[in-house]
Amino acid sequence: MKLQEYTVSKHNFEECMKCTICTAYCPVLQVNPLYPGPKQAGPDGERLRLKDPYFFNYALKYCMNCKRCEVACPSGVNVADLIQAARIKYDSSKPKLRDQLLASTDFMGTVARPVAPIVNGVTSMGIAKTAMDALLKIDRQRTFPKYSPRSFERWLKRREKEQAAFPEQVAYFHGCYVNYNYPQLGKDLVKVLNALGVGVKLLEKEKCCGIAMITNGMSEKAAKNARHNVAALRKAAVDGGLKVVTTSSSCTLTIREEYPNLLGVDNADVRDSIVMATRYIFEKLEKGATLKFKADFHKKIAYHVPCHMEKMGWGVFSEKLLRMIPGVEFTLLDSACCGIAGTYGFKKENYAAAQAIGAALFDQICTVNPDVVACDCETCKWQIEMSTGYTVANPISILAEAIE
């Protein structure tokens, strides 16, 4: 079956009862008058598009695919899926060079990593930012994530034997961010899981989950990565009987939901084996496993639930884990989008909207004034750190710091 045929009839637009609740929850609609909003771009637009593709509206590109409309919809309409599927099916424009570069995280990571200090230096220089702004339309005010000179995969491969000696094993879908930018998060996960008697394995070979490719008009490439990843996950989960843990809420949502719903890649036999590490650890502790916490650990933590974590309904596991740490003063931040949505907020035409969307969240963080903001998404981390100056850490890293 071709990708385009699959996406036509997949989504439940008929179940929309036109209540308009989704429009109140769409962060883009609040700040960008060019965007038609979830109801019009989703179920209403789908009725028209199915009659005549002429009704496809290029303003659908302003949708960030945050899924907040889906969380809000009382009828369970897959509003964001309808919008993304329409973009995949009807948008025939070729992705710009900028969008290809932003979405090719594996390629960029592979090229940048060996010369990471140079790349990190150049991308933080004002002149380079001005050039990228002028030539590529990547907003010059954006701060770029740093690359690591050593990959997480290499680090873990060197510890294969040591990890295999643990009585229990999990596989880890680390994602591009851990591998190319911040291996420390992967190391923190290994530390926590080892403390629970669990060893960590790499998948046979993972590729970028493809989330940025989907939103940047590269769905065929995303589907190719999805087929590759599902085969690797099948080897670990079905053949090897392992749980697969993750530390990025967006990678997780993509693998579990977007692969079948947007890319037509069947993941039914592996989907339930893929869980966020915070959920996996919480459930282990519930069953009686224990962690030994430092007696002198004290931190004021504000937890931001990323939009994709809200969509999965799993923020509660990170929250409960963080609340479990003795010495933590915990604040759950109001439900809000930070505005970056992966590559969205890097683009010059979206930068102002991204910052306006995140403003309420940034204000609340400043009011709470925490030692650290906890968050399960790397792009939220970039956005919050850049916009507030507060340090953001994955709940797994906070847990790793808190245990003996």
Interface with ligand SF4, residue 22, by CB under 6 A: yes
Of 36-44, 317-325, 328-336, 367-375: span binding ligand SF4 (CB under 6 A) = 36-44
Which residue of 2, 18, 287, 292 would you call a contact of ligand SF4, by CB under 6 A? Answer: 18
Give me the least distance between CB of 355 and ligand SF4, in Å please. Answer: 15
Which residue of 38, 45, 109, 395 would you call a contact of ligand SF4, by CB under 6 A? Answer: 38
∠ CA 54-60-63, nearest 5°, is 165
Torsion 164-168-171-177 (CA) sign: negative
Q: What is the largest CA-CA distance in the chain?
A: 65
Give me the least distance between CB of 66 and ligand SF4, in Å please. Answer: 4
Interface with ligand SF4, residue 20, by CB under 6 A: yes
Which residue of 16, 245, 384, 396 would you call a contact of ligand SF4, by CB under 6 A? Answer: 16
Query: Which is nearest to 230 in space by CA: 247, 249, 212, 205?
Result: 205
Give me the least distance between CB of 254 and ligand SF4, in Å please. Answer: 14
The total number of residues written for the chain in this structure? 404
Interface with ligand SF4, residue 31, by CB under 6 A: no
Interface with ligand SF4, residue 28, by CB under 6 A: yes
Task: Annotate each residue in 44-63 with x if it binds ligand SF4 (CB under 6 A) or - if it does not, as one string.
Answer: -------------------x
What does the alpha-carbon distance between residue 296 and residue 116 come to, in Å, rounded to a whole number? 36
Q: Judge contact between 97 and 136, C-beta under 8 A.
A: yes
Interface with ligand SF4, residue 39, by CB under 6 A: yes
What does the alpha-carbon distance between residue 305 and residue 325 come to, in Å, rounded to a whole number? 18
> Can you read off the two tokens belonging to residue 238?
């079905």
Scanning residues 60 to 119, which ones bind ligand SF4 (CB under 6 A)? 63-69, 72-73, 75, 77, 79-80, 83
Interface with ligand SF4, residue 347, by CB under 6 A: no
# chain residues binding ligand SF4, by CB under 6 A = 27
Give me the least distance between CB of 52 and ligand SF4, in Å please. Answer: 21
Scanning residues 240 to 269, which ones bind ligand SF4 (CB under 6 A)? none
Of 17-25, 116-124, 314-322, 388-396: span binding ligand SF4 (CB under 6 A) = 17-25
Give me the least distance between CB of 398 and ligand SF4, in Å please. Answer: 28
**Total Cβ atoms within 10 A of residue 3:** 17
Give me the least distance between CB of 341 and ligand SF4, in Å please. Answer: 8
What does the alpha-carbon distance between residue 56 and residue 88 come to, in Å, rounded to a whole number? 11
Q: Which positions ≥6 away from 297 have C-beta within 8 Å?
A: 325, 326, 327, 328, 401, 402
Q: DSSP characters for 75-120?
A: T---HHHHHHHHHHHH--PPPPHHHHHHH-HHHHHHHHGGGHHHHH
Scanning residues 196 to 225, which ones bind ligand SF4 (CB under 6 A)? none
Give 190's DSSP letter: H
Element (H, E) at 355: helix 348-368
What does the alpha-carbon distance between residue 303 and residue 285 come to, in Å, rounded to a whole number? 20
Which residue of 8, 9, 14, 19 would you call a contact of ligand SF4, by CB under 6 A? Answer: 19
Of 11-19, 157-165, 228-236, 256-264: span binding ligand SF4 (CB under 6 A) = 11-19
Binding residues for ligand SF4 (CB under 6 A): 16-22, 26, 28, 38-39, 42-43, 63-69, 72-73, 75, 77, 79-80, 83
